[in-house]
């Protein structure tokens, strides 16, 4: 891990290296992903069954691509009542927050008498990709499906790989709680292709959301334009701002909560106290001896972790904006004042008792967030990802007479004669009628 101090002469070069040292892997699989997508587009269900047998060691025919309601019910019965209750708590909070996000339509009449407005409508169909096997996260099902349902999407289709035919009960329970009934046992780039282009059994969707591996990310990149996507997600990341009033152990656990996701994840501590930073580093090493995913978390911390010592919190806010992290924890007494100085972060967690893990599960705001510095221009998943804006204009004769001549002048300047005539001949007819 890197140790940086803003007072050091070589700080700038070290900091620049820190925010540029991770690279996406999606480009390495672009050719085989393109081949998979082309085959799915050409051969439909047959290609899905072929790839499922090859990659997931599961022999299927078209009739068994969809997981039946009976299978979903049986899987849900294997989930403890405690976990069902926990999923319900999370779902209720996620739904409440996203309902509060819903925008209102816009309509007004301007000074020239034109009626102008904007109307929001939902997408017709959304595809949800869910990783399978060890990387199955029911929380991601809730975070992706519930905003779509709140937005009014009529059809939610979910694809989840089932290696060896094993269904993940928690994922299916979360899907049922989120209102997803159309679920297919296919994964990988082939599932993305099926949702984008459609097959005999899977109707195409309008947008595909949800996390996946490098193959899934590359497939989403390649189908973008034919359908919408949420984002091309990179490894997880967190920046923690903490002073010496905090427990080094708790700060260490917050750093490792991101590091345990992936060897490429990045966890950064920014502090105004070098001695406190050293205590946190020691606490990280101790905690690594206790974690079941210590190998992953340790590699992430070793290769991409960092402690940055700053002179003040205003300086820290400037560094946060340059990192533009997916997650930002501000564990300070004046957390809101420091947060007010930050422009670029996917989501913020304020105070000493609000770890990022709360946001992963039961906070309410979405945990699907921009990574790899894309928080400079992108936002987390929301109801807006499942809505479209349609603007409208209405005018009578009076309004056209007031604004039309300017439109004619601009159309002539652009050399678009039909544009100009479509307005000017209406104006001429009005003038003739008034004469």
Per-residue pLDDT band at 135 (split at 50, 70, 90): low
Report CA torsion sign: 51, 57, 59, 62.
negative
- Reported as a single tens digit per residue, the pLDDT across 13-60 is 999 999 887 655 456 899 999 999 999 999 999 999 999 999 999 999
- One fold for both 2-24+234-363 and 26-103+121-229? yes
User: Which residues neighbour 134 within 8 Å (Cβ) at sequence distance 6 or greater?
Assistant: none
Angle of CA points 367, 371, 373, to nearest 5°: 140
Work out the average pLDDT over 174-179. Answer: 97
133 pLDDT more than 80: no
For residue 327, CA distances in Å to 240, 315, 373 come to 8, 18, 11
Q: Please give the Cα distance from 330 to 185 (Å, whole number).
A: 41
Q: Fold for domain 26-103+121-229? A: Rossmann fold (3.40.50)
Work out the average pLDDT over 234-242. Answer: 95
Catalytic residues: 326-327
Q: Please give the Cα distance from 43 to 414 (Å, whole number).
A: 47
pLDDT over 90 percentage in the chain: 93
For residue 178, CA distances in Å to 69, 78, 101, 119, 355 come to 15, 18, 18, 26, 25
228 pLDDT more than 60: yes
> Nearest CA to 37 among 226, 220, 209, 189?
189
The pLDDT, as a whole number, for residue 39 is: 98
Work out the average pLDDT over 250-279. Answer: 97
Work out the average pLDDT over 340-346. Answer: 98
Work out the average pLDDT over 389-411. Answer: 97
> Nearest CA to 377 among 348, 330, 345?
345
Domain residue spans in the chain? Answer: 2-24+234-363, 26-103+121-229, 395-434
Whether 91 contacts 177, CB under 8 Å: yes
Work out the average pLDDT over 229-235. Answer: 90
Work out the average pLDDT over 73-80. Answer: 95
267 pLDDT more than 60: yes
Q: Helices (H), strands (E): how many in the chain?
A: 17, 14
- Reported as a single tens digit per residue, the pLDDT across 272-314 is 999 999 999 999 999 999 999 999 999 999 999 999 999 999 9
Q: What is the overall mean pLDDT for the chain?
A: 95
SS3 226: coil
State the chain's maximal CA–CA distance in angstroms: 91
Domain spanning 2-24+234-363: CATH 3.40.1190.20: no
Per-residue pLDDT band at 164 (split at 50, 70, 90): very high
- Reported as a single tens digit per residue, the pLDDT across 201-224 is 999 999 999 988 889 999 999 999
Work out the average pLDDT over 352-371. Answer: 96
Lowest mean pLDDT among 128-137, 291-300, 418-427: 128-137
Per-residue pLDDT band at 170 (split at 50, 70, 90): very high
324 pLDDT more than 90: yes
pLDDT over 70 percentage in the chain: 98
The pLDDT, as a whole number, for residue 132 is: 78
């Amino acid at each position: 891990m890197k140790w940086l101090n803003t007072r050091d002469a070589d700080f700038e070069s070290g900091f620049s290296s820190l925010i540029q040292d991770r690279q996406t892997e999606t480009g390495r699989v672009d050719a085989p992903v393109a081949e998979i997508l082309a085959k799915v587009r050409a051969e439909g269900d047959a290609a899905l069954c072929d790839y499922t047998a090859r990659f997931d060691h599961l022999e299927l025919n078209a009739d068994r691509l969809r997981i039946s309601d009976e299978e979903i019910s049986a899987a849900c019965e294997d989930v403890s009542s405690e976990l069902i209750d926990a999923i319900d708590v999370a779902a209720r909070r996620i739904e409440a927050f996203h309902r509060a996000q819903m925008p209102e339509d816009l309509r007004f009449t301007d000074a020239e008498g034109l009626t102008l407005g904007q109307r929001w409508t939902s997408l017709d169909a959304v595809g949800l990709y869910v990783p399978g096997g060890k990387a199955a996260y029911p929380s991601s099902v809730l975070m992706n499906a519930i905003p779509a349902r709140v937005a009014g999407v009529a059809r939610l289709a979910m694809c989840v790989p089932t290696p060896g035919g094993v269904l993940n009960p928690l994922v299916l329970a979360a899907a049922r709680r989120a209102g997803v009934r159309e679920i297919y046992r296919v994964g990988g780039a082939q599932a993305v292709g099926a949702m984008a282009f459609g097959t005999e059994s899977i109707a195409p969707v309008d947008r595909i959301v949800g996390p996946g591996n490098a193959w899934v990310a590359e497939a989403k990149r390649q189908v973008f334009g034919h359908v919408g996507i949420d984002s091309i997600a990179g490894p997880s990341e967190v920046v923690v701002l903490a002073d010496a009033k905090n427990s080094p152990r708790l700060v260490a656990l917050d750093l490792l909560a991101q590091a345990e996701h992936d060897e490429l994840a990045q966890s950064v501590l920014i502090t105004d106290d070098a001695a406190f930073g050293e205590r946190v580093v020691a606490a990280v090493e101790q905690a690594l001896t206790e974690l079941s995913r210590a190998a992953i978390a340790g590699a992430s911390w070793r290769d991409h972790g960092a402690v940055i010592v700053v002179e003040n919190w205003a300086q820290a806010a400037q560094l946060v904006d340059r990192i533009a992290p997916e997650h930002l924890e501000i564990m300070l007494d004046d957390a809101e004042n420091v947060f007010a100085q930050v422009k670029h972060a996917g989501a913020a967690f304020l105070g000493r008792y609000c770890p990022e893990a709360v946001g992963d599960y039961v906070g309410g705001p979405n945990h699907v967030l921009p990574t790899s510095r894309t928080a400079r221009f992108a936002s987390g998943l929301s109801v807006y990802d499942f809505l479209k804006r349609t603007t409208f204009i209405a005018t009578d004769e009076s309004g056209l007479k007031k604004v039309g001549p300017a439109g004619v002048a601009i159309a002539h300047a652009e050399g678009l004669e039909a544009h100009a005539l479509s307005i000017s001949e209406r104006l001429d007819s009005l003038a003739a009628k008034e004469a």
